[in-house]
Structure 1
Amino acid sequence: MNRLPVVLAMLLPFLFSCGVEKQAEGTPESSLLWKIEKEGMTTDAYLYGTMHLINKEYFYFPEKLQNLVKKSDVLVMELGALPDYASAMSLMLLPEGESINDYFTEEQMELVYDFMESEMNMNKEAFDLAFGRMKPFIILQLVTSKQFSGETESFELSFTNLAKENEMEIIGLETVEQQLGFFDQIPQSGMGSMITQYFEEKDKMEEETEKLQKIYRAGNLDSLAVFMKETSQELLDFEDILLTNRNKAWIPEIEKIISEKNAFIAVGAAHLAGENGVIELLKKKGYTVQPILF
């Protein structure tokens, strides 16, 4: 099944009291929060798996978690800072002479126009003027955001605001150019079908997004990884591009940072699980990575 919009909220940050119960007491087998340790290591380091966009009812940002951030010297995230709107848009431009219409059939473009009219209050002429030269990825992000009903929250924004309030350094493991480049490696020929499937199966995708959030909030990374792969063939087809290669590239950067400073690391939860996840890659480097309650 082509469900990449469902899992996009776990993979890349968006370029634009919560009613949840505390975790059960005891020693967890899995968690969204992990402590990184190693013999001879003199700094404190924590690893947290985020969901880049999440409904407010599943957003859990307790005082214990906030205190761990505030006690750190540096906040490490996928991106050190989100670009301003103009810069982000410039990075999404198609090559000269290409149009977003080149990636959709006439019937698919009608679905896109209808979506923009109903969800964004933007008619066809306004869309062509604003997005005609943009990569299909911009539509993918808009579609993804509409799978969330009601008020949403952002862990990245919350962590960033907390770090700024406490005058902490913020380090990015990647640049915006790199992140957009990952999607440039996915054949654009199939992007139109991937996006327009949302319009054809909107209700089912919204149900899957709700289930994804529940699994995320439960904090079981293995279950999360299984669900994401079951609902997105693209995640299997392009796992090296979207997850594995990125995880491996982060490890040297993370090692350098945590050898020098107390660090709180927050990346998409999809990057933590599995044999090639950040947790196992750190263990292979000799670190002990333990789940902790928060």
Structure 2
Amino acid sequence: MLRRTIVTIALLLLLLPTFAQHSLLYRISGKDLPQPSYLFGTIHLICPDDFFVSEELKKAFSAAKTVYLEMDMDDPALMSGLMKAMQETDEDYKLENIFKPEDFARLKQYLKDSMKMDITFFQQMKPMMIMSTIMQRALRCPVPASYEMTFLTMAKEQNKTVEGLEKLDDQINVFDEMADSTESRMIMDYVNDMEKQRDYFTRIVAAYRQQDISKIHDFIKETPDMAGYEDVMVYDRNRNWIPVIEKAAQKETTLFACGAMHLGGDQGVVELLRKKGYKVEPIPNTISSSGQR
């Protein structure tokens, strides 16, 4: 009996790290921090029925003095800056030039038939503009929910300061690093097989609701077009955020919210903070009901 008990305990201890990683919410403490801060993994595209804000997250949010999103969504100049950054400055540039003629014709027809949009609007825009527009079609709902906008609203209601882990230019540069051929291929993946992309998003959302940051991180490997861009899209940004997180957490209790794909893996934000000597503990993040805020 004693031997069986010891074996059972040993198995539970082995499994504990796996269970522990099944959370989107973490407490950051230790090292020389005078107070704890919190880290939460968001998802940028999700339907209202899958969206949730747990009681534990609400408590962490209330405890924070400042909220850090990937970008400062409270900046009045953000939207105008984003639209300006989306425009191609090269006068000779045309969106159609980065596509094969047959692909551009198919894209043009897709926008007209499925989205009631004229491709002329996008001709002087960078590929990421049309990509972000088409990606929303991969969701099985007409209007997605947004953690960023929800947190922005909550911050205003609670008189909290909102800051950004990076600047708009930093995020734009991520996409500027990608080859035009890669971006055009990614766009055509959606146009040619939207149902496949919907299945892919469904699996990501399922992993998100399971709060399995390791599984979410593994989706990087499932995206062929990400090959060669993992550093610029994810890992370099993770490393750049650590000094920002350290400085803010030293000053006051802060909630940091970034895409959940940035949390997992050896180069994820959770492990990078632990390697710096911080204690990063998962907090149970209970899903009580769908679509609840």
Taking structure 1 as the reference length, the TM-score comes to 0.85
1:96 to 85, 91, 95: 91
Query: CA-atom RMSD, angstroms?
Result: 1.6
**CA offsets per residue over residues 150-177 of structure 1, 9 Å max, x none?**
1421011111110111111111011122
Aligned positions of 1:205-244 closer than 5 A:
205-230=197-222, 232-244=223-235
Aligned positions of 1:142-153 closer than 5 A:
142-150=133-141, 151-153=143-145
Q: What displacement does 1:122 show?
A: 2.1
Structure 1 residues 194, 29: CA separation in 2 closer, same or farther (over 3 Å shift)?
A: closer
Q: Does 1:277 align with 2:271?
A: no
Q: Which 10-residue stretch deviates more, 195-204 or 27-36?
A: 27-36
Q: Which 10-residue stretch deviates more, 78-87 or 67-76?
A: 78-87
Please give the alpha-carbon distance, in whole angstroms, between the structure 2 residues aligned to 1:291 and 1:54.
22
Partners of 1:103 and 1:189 within 8 A in 2? yes
Partners of 1:212 and 1:224 within 8 A in 2? yes
2:116 to 101, 104, 121: 121
2:284 to 260, 272, 293: 293
Aligned positions of 1:24-173 closer than 5 A:
28-81=20-73, 85-94=79-88, 95-123=90-118, 127-128=119-120, 130-150=121-141, 151-173=143-165
Q: Which amino acid aligns with 2:155?
A: A
Q: What displacement does 1:84 show?
A: 5.2
- Kindly tell me the number of residue pairs found equivalent between the two proteins: 263
Partners of 2:72 and 2:164 within 8 A in 1? yes
Q: What displacement does 1:38 show?
A: 0.8
**Structure 1, gaps ≥5 residues long:** 1-26
Please give the alpha-carbon distance, in whole angstroms, between the structure 1 residues aligned to 2:39 and 2:149.
17
Partners of 1:32 and 1:49 within 8 A in 2? yes
Counterpart in 2 of 1:196? 188
Partners of 2:186 and 2:225 within 8 A in 1? no
Please give the alpha-carbon distance, in whole angstroms, between the structure 1 residues aligned to 2:106 and 2:158.
46
Please give the alpha-carbon distance, in whole angstroms, between the structure 2 residues aligned to 1:221 and 1:84.
29
Please give the alpha-carbon distance, in whole angstroms, between the structure 1 residues aligned to 2:263 and 2:57.
18
Please give the alpha-carbon distance, in whole angstroms, between the structure 2 residues aligned to 1:253 and 1:53.
25
**Structure 2, gaps ≥5 residues long:** 1-18, 286-293
Partners of 1:70 and 1:162 within 8 A in 2? no
Q: Which amino acid aligns with 1:101?
A: E
Structure 1 residues 171, 85: CA separation in 2 closer, same or farther (over 3 Å shift)?
A: closer
